[in-house]
Structure 1
Amino acid sequence: MLEVNSDQSIGQLLRSTLDEHSLSMRKLSELTDIDTSTISRIINDKRKATLDHLEKFSSVLAIPLAKLLEADGYSVIPEKKSSSEYDATIEQLVNTSDLLSTKLSLAQVESQLADYEDYAKTTEGKQRILYEFTEKLKAAGGIGPFADQMKKLFTRFKTQKGNTRELAIIGSALLYFIVPVDVIPDYLFAVGYLDDAVAVQIASNVLVKKS
């Protein structure tokens, strides 16, 4: 289960922020293009906000997106989490339709991974992985369970440890991380690299099933 890391619920946080800015739910609806009834249900803790909702609230109300995620009950992935906690969090996110709806579609991630499997088999794809991975990882922070998983996959790909199908699956996850075409932009680790983490989880699950 995802941890709730905020003392305030999403409804309490939004309500207090609206009060501070003297904004009504109707006005927030106009500014965010989210139906007033939906905002009311979120504020009254009768439904969970989607990532799309949270991004709009963040933009309009100047609330850090990470704070909104925590208030809505999602565990923002810290760099020092253990690998087991990290894997459990990503697994939960993979199965959390509220967060994955709209902005992050598993079907989109899986479709992109399938395309990258073929690309990973080409000379160009292999060279891109070998020459661009280190710099992209450095740009992503280079530490933490997510980085550790990526490094292990890269080492396995670089040393060609696996059969053709396994290496194509590993290559697809690495290319998803490297190529700057994401379901979610890489502007914030906790959210921007969420689809990359999900892609790694999907690829890892396939590898486990095949072993």
Structure 2
Amino acid sequence: MSDVHAKRDVVVLDYGSGNVRSATRALEKVGANVTLTADRAAAAEADGLVVPGVGAFAACMAGLRAVRGHEVVGRRLAGGRPVLGICVGMQILFERGVEHGVEAEGMGEWPGTVEQLQAHPLPHMGWNTVEAPAGSVLFGGVEKERFYFVHSYGVRDWVMPPPERLRPPLVTTSEHDGDTFVAAVENGPLSATQFHPEKSGDAGLQLLENWVRSL
């Protein structure tokens, strides 16, 4: 991978969630200068902020709020500063999550509900293709590749209406056992993937490099 982007400073937000080390290593591999921290000032000032996440929606939101990470994300987006959510780090960007009958409030950056996939078997684990829209920056050069998923919950209905003046969000989908769900979103400075790019081999590294290049 290229080292052209070595001067891009990226913070991986460390708020007690998993997959932080693998995300850090993958971003370093594509040339970013990566810091793993919960420090709000560092997270606010970096060129890019990555919000990882594994496990339960409610637990991730609780961890994020404990370090006031939701405030950092909101301030960055208000200023047009890039943020990338990964796996549950994507899910908590939506309005709410429902797991085992328990509803939890998300960050509400996008309308929609994270719910159990209507598919078998669960979790959806392994490599899968995606349907990326034309003009995608994240999937440039890897539109036909497979990415690594491990989840039982997702956003099955994208309900955000297109804005009147701004470019509408680019929504990438995937399918498991006939159930279609949101696999990625690109919405101005805010991007997210349901799959794990840091565990998706060369295709995932290319996607992360595409994101770093866009910073």
TM-score range with shorter-chain normalisation?
under 0.3
Bigger Rg over Cα: 1
Which has more helix, going by share of residues? Answer: 1
TM-score calculated relative to the size of structure 1: 0.26
